[in-house]
Amino acid sequence: MRIVFAGLLLLSATVLSQDANVLRRYRNFIARHVGQVSRDRCDHEMGRRRLTKSSDSNLCRDTNTFIGDSAGRINLICGGAGAPYGGNFTRSLQPFPITICNLKNENARQPHCQYRGRADTRYLVIQCEQGYPVHFERDIV
């Protein structure tokens, strides 16, 4: 009986840990990609969100895509508003407004990052876990 209980306790801890990891990745996705950003505000928004090449670097991120819609609407892609796309990804069934910010000054470091923004409307390809978007893969026409 004790072994069964210990096993259930361990399994519960593992599930909770996995859930916490998915929620952390979801919050990171939201912080990195969700929000209305005009193409002439890329410098400001990339700096405000502290988006760099990696979490332990101050090198400017080469590119970032902002999705100009609500997190709730984007979440729907992981349900009925999305379709399987390639291996692990889901494609939105509807296009979304996006702003793509591309670095102009290669190898720059924060706070000297300068971006060129481009606005468009595209379908999204994202990775979903447990019904949440956790990774932006790309946009498609």
Task: Provide the terminal-to-terminal Cα distance of the chain, rounded to the nearest Å.
Answer: 57
Q: Buried b / exposed e across 91-127, counting CB within 10 Å, b at 16+?
A: bbeeebebbbbebeeeeeeeeebebebeeeebbbbbb
Tokens of 5: 């209980």
44 catalytic residue (yes or no):
no
Catalytic member of 26, 29, 33, 51: 33
135 catalytic residue (yes or no):
yes
Catalytic member of 49, 91, 135, 138: 135
Which residues are known catalytic residues? Answer: 33, 135
